[in-house]
Amino acid sequence: MAKQLEYDLVIVGGGLVGASLATALSGQGLRIAVLEAFALRADNQPSYDDRSIALSWGSSRILNTMGIWSQIDQAGVSAIETIHVSDRGHIGSARMSAHNEGVEALGYVVENRVMGRVFAQSFEQMDDVDLLCPAQVQSVDISDKRARLLAMMDNESLDITAALVVAADGGQSFIRQREGIDTFEANYGQTAIIANISAEQTHDHVAYERFTNTGPLALLPMTKDGGHDRCSLVWTADNAEVDTIMGWDDETFMNKLQQRFGYRMGRITQAGKRNAYPLKLMQVREAIRPRLAIIGNAAHMLHPVAGQGFNLGLRDVAALAQVVVDGHRRGEDIGQMMVLQEYRQWRRNDTARTLLFTDGLVRSFSTDFKPMALVRNLGLLALDTLPFLKKTLTRQAMGLAGKQTRLARGLPL
Ligand SMILES: Cc1cc2nc3c(=O)[nH]c(=O)nc-3n(C[C@H](O)[C@H](O)[C@H](O)COP(=O)(O)OP(=O)(O)OC[C@H]3O[C@@H](n4cnc5c(N)ncnc54)[C@H](O)[C@@H]3O)c2cc1C
């Protein structure tokens, strides 16, 4: 006999985006469940793994209004004060700085595992949110009146009903596939290899984006370890090269990285464990259906070149939380299309702009075709010298473009 559970809202996936939504909605008079397949502190948890994320300034404001920024900050973040963009083998480069924007940082770098620990603590403190974990969803059935999920947790069957199901179950979303929702996809033929590295000199809180003919490299400033500055490396390579790069010993890896990155931080002295992530562009064709909203990586996957994926997902969270809470306060059924359409409308432009911006960067910098190299280098020079252009792009990178949610403006839901 399955255990019957009833909620206003069930979030499938307790990764970065699902856990953020639960935290944002806690305290608003809604009964919430989060169904998550892996324990949040487990080594093999796929969202809270060995990566680090660059959180935009806008994301830090959302997390602050949600009440968890101080825990993230205390657990360890490193400020991004400058972003340096360059094109290997060409003269074009550009710098964006927090000082010019009148803020203390353009963003912050935090380890995914730190985020997992903070969210695990947050779940322990929220008494209106049930974390059902580790749990496997087995089926979803959406009708006019309710959404119903069957799941297994600790050999117990759960029969869960709710007014609204939110799919935050990542790029391979079970819910999206079970509901037969189509996606638009484009394969980059590239894989991101990540590792933490140290160099002779301090990172000085600069985030480097370096475009090379074999794919972009990003180095993000991290917190110190054992007195040494660390950087989080994202090295994008063609799929055909990945096995070779993963197979290099540390010495060879550091030498090859040095050739691509140069000596902006002196000699690279240490490289940690490497992990590989195949990359693609994906966007869901329907982000909502009656009693269903799809958010985060379940709705869109981007190339990590500009560090925008979670930031975009967090803006989904802030918008969805606002329309759900407003609908609930008006006494409306939160699974109704009327409520969800407001969410879709709101997110359309930001999602399209962020996907186009990221995809355009990858494609225009991944070619040696001379006229294109000239255009992009002129673009970088223009970015460095034209204040209006620089301001527009910096605000996009900071997550401040477009209509802002209450959480992003520092206002409670
Ligand atoms: C190399 C790399 C670097 C990146 N760097 C940045 C960056 O600097 N800045 C940035 O903003 N973004 C970055 N991103 C993107 C960011 O990691 C993602 O956007 C983010 O992880 C999306 O979070 P999510 O919760 O939507 O999905 P996920 O992180 O995939 O989490 C999904 C969760 O759902 C759970 N789940 C899956 N299926 C089920 C199921 N059937 N039942 C229950 N639970 C389930 C999983 O266990 C997981 O916990 C990077 C990505 C990569 C690959």
Q: Which domain holds residue 300?
A: 3-47+111-185+280-380
Q: Is the pLDDT of residue 177 over 80?
A: yes
Q: Ligand 1 centre from 169 Cα, in Å?
A: 8
Is the CB of residue 296 below 6 angstroms from any atom belonging to ligand 1?
yes
| Cα gap 77→222, rounded to integer Å | 7
pLDDT in tens, 251-268: 999 999 999 888 989 999
| Cα gap 206→204, rounded to integer Å | 6
Q: Is the pLDDT of residue 325 over 70?
A: yes
Q: What is the predicted pLDDT for the residue at 224?
A: 87
Q: Is the pLDDT of residue 132 over 90?
A: yes
Closest C-alpha residue for ligand 1 atom 15 = 309
Peptide bond into 134 cis (omega under 30): yes
How many domains is the chain built from? 1
In order of 8, 156, 160, 167, 223, the CA distances from 148 in angstroms are 12, 16, 6, 13, 44
Is the CB of residue 234 below 6 angstroms from any atom belonging to ligand 1?
yes
Note whether residue 230 is domain-resident.
no
Is the CB of residue 46 below 6 angstroms from any atom belonging to ligand 1?
yes
Q: Ligand 1 centre from 12 Cα, in Å?
A: 13
Q: What is the predicted pLDDT for the residue at 11?
A: 98
Note whether residue 202 is domain-resident.
no
Q: What is the arithmetic mean of pLDDT over 84-99? A: 77
Note whether residue 72 is domain-resident.
no
Q: Is the pLDDT of residue 1 over 90?
A: no
Which atom, in ligand 1's list, is nearest to the CA of 301? 19
| Cα gap 87→273, rounded to integer Å | 27
Q: What is the arithmetic mean of pLDDT over 309-324? A: 97
Q: What is the arithmetic mean of pLDDT over 1-24? A: 97
Record the tokens describing residue 176, joined without a space.
Answer: 């999206």
| Cα gap 355→134, rounded to integer Å | 32
pLDDT in tens, 40-74: 999 999 999 999 999 999 999 999 999 999 999 99
Record the tokens describing residue 3, joined without a space.
Answer: 């255990």
Which atom, in ligand 1's list, is nearest to the CA of 19? 25
Is the CB of residue 309 below 6 angstroms from any atom belonging to ligand 1?
yes
Note whether residue 125 is domain-resident.
yes
Note whether residue 231 is domain-resident.
no
Handedness of CA 168, 169, 175, 177 (dihedral sign): positive
Q: What is the arithmetic mean of pLDDT over 286-297? A: 97
Average pLDDT, the chain: 91
Residue 123 confidence class, pLDDT cut points 50, 70, 90:
very high
Note whether residue 16 is domain-resident.
yes
Here the CATH number for the domain that contains residue 13 is 3.50.50.60
Note whether residue 353 is domain-resident.
yes
Q: What is the predicted pLDDT for the residue at 367?
A: 63
Note whether residue 264 is domain-resident.
no
Compute the half-sphere exposure of residue 353: CA atoms within 13 Å on the CB side of its CA: 16
Handedness of CA 307, 310, 316, 317 (dihedral sign): negative
Q: Is the pLDDT of residue 376 over 80?
A: no
Share of the chain above pLDDT 90, in %: 74
| Largest Cα–Cα separation, the chain | 69
Choice from 169, 190, 354 to test ligand 1 binding pocket (greatest atom count within 8 A of CB) = 169
